[in-house]
Structure 1
């Protein structure tokens, strides 16, 4: 763990007193199109000081919440399985101390490390997944550990109808057919979230938020942009609705800051992260 870092705004509690622990997973070794998500955690921290700690939507302030920013994990090159193991071990440590991990990707494969740890502590774990892509491939160019396969690997850990997918608008035929049987998938929108929340109340929930669920008009700083996405306000309202659930862990991923020279995609990620943390707490 690299402790020489800027924390995400106001998330400067000590570890012992924190109820939420943020950590970065700056990895993009399996991206299928444009790389760069490994730069997202540091970009999010640096740009977070451009927005307020207070959410007028929730009437809550990060300064009133005990959040510890643990900095970024440090990964070697060329060993994807080791990266996932290190994320799993970090997550296991956090949840063993009865704290809620919030991970900053990185590409979407990093979610698998968290789920491997979470599924052990929470046998009834369910996933709420926001994304443009189904991420349900069995393999991508012969690799089973890929950001295109991450929810398929999570399904192998959790089983049928434990993954709820929203905003999906890009997939293969095989992924489409797999989802019809094995996941609960809402295409093109966030409709039906209210009903899913009612169904999942009282269960342990992991939220994984791939920021390319947003339309590229709102969020172009990603390696795999997909037209036809949701608006920022729709996504933020969806995040706020999750406060009715028992969220035991979360991540945001797939910001590639260098593809948006205006910096707006990074600021958007900062604001979604602020609202997510305040929703959890």
Structure 2
């Protein structure tokens, strides 16, 4: 099924979504997949919960001085994935990203687990080539070669990117958890900035702002005191305010794709995690039309 048709079973769409794929410059896709989660499952419910709570925030953004109704974006609903079939699911995710990119639209994917980012970024890399910069916000390095013998795991999401793109094009921020081997790997092959986000990003942004940038945002980069609705919470993270300020550093840059992952509603007291995700998505949509 083409993304143009949307998902007829979807009960709620993200606030201010248009009804037309063709007229939209941004296409949102939900990916309800948590097949490789290593601790607590539940992120498959993330996309729909983020949509549901989006009505609880304003369409106007004080940070952007812009209203979401001024933007042309289309929420195509959730992908229909074969439950438990990781390889086929990754294939379908990649096909969806390719459709969006071939139509010269901005891909915005909502997870689901972090592994869903890999086929999307692969298709974005196929389009933009070796100039593409990937910026990862995350508590975890995600640089394991595999997890329990499985190379396709949310614990290996960024390592799988290095299978097809230069590791030095990957910038990792907020990392505060991983194996010793992962941190040693990062020293050699990626650009890793541990624990903090805003300060190191503010130093790096001028060196990457003119290149095509893909942002992959694992919500667990934020401390669980602010966002407890995630499958692998890691104490010692940044505040929700620092994350918002960090995202706003990308205003005026050449963002060509975005995903937000690992929101897990079963653990999300007061929907605070989903609300933060919705607010970030709102502002990213606005940024794409201010480039």
Does the pair score TM above 0.5? yes
How many angstroms does 1:13 deviate by? 4.5
Q: Counterparts of 1:209 and 1:49 in 2: how far apart (Å)? A: 22
Classify the secondary structure of the residue corresponding to 1:251.
strand
Residues 49-104 of structure 1: CA deviation (Å, up to 9, x unaligned): 11111101111111000001110001112221111111110000001011000000
Equivalent in the alignment of 1:262: 270
Q: Counterparts of 2:242 and 2:143 in 1: how far apart (Å)? A: 24
Q: Counterparts of 1:235 and 1:229 in 2: how far apart (Å)? A: 10
Native 8 Å contact 2:28 2:77 kept in 1 = yes
Residues 81-137 of structure 1: CA deviation (Å, up to 9, x unaligned): 111111110000001011000000000000001012111111021101100000000
How many angstroms does 1:266 deviate by? 1.5
Q: Counterparts of 2:155 and 2:228 in 1: how far apart (Å)? A: 19
Equivalent in the alignment of 1:166: 173
Q: Counterparts of 1:157 and 1:134 in 2: how far apart (Å)? A: 18
Equivalent in the alignment of 1:212: 220
Measured on the aligned residues, the alpha-carbon RMSD in Å equals 1.1
Count the aligned residue pairs. Answer: 281
Matched, 1:3 2:11: no
Matched, 1:149 2:156: yes
How many angstroms does 1:156 deviate by? 1.5
Native 8 Å contact 1:221 1:265 kept in 2 = yes
Matched, 1:139 2:146: yes
Native 8 Å contact 1:197 1:244 kept in 2 = no
Q: Which deviates more from structure 2 when the two are superposed, residues 172-181 or residues 157-166?
A: 157-166
Classify the secondary structure of the residue corresponding to 1:157.
coil
Match of 2:79 among 73, 83, 86: 73
Q: Counterparts of 2:163 and 2:64 in 1: how far apart (Å)? A: 36
How many angstroms does 1:245 deviate by? 1.8
State the TM-score, normalized to the length of structure 1. 0.97
State the TM-score, normalized to the length of structure 2. 0.94
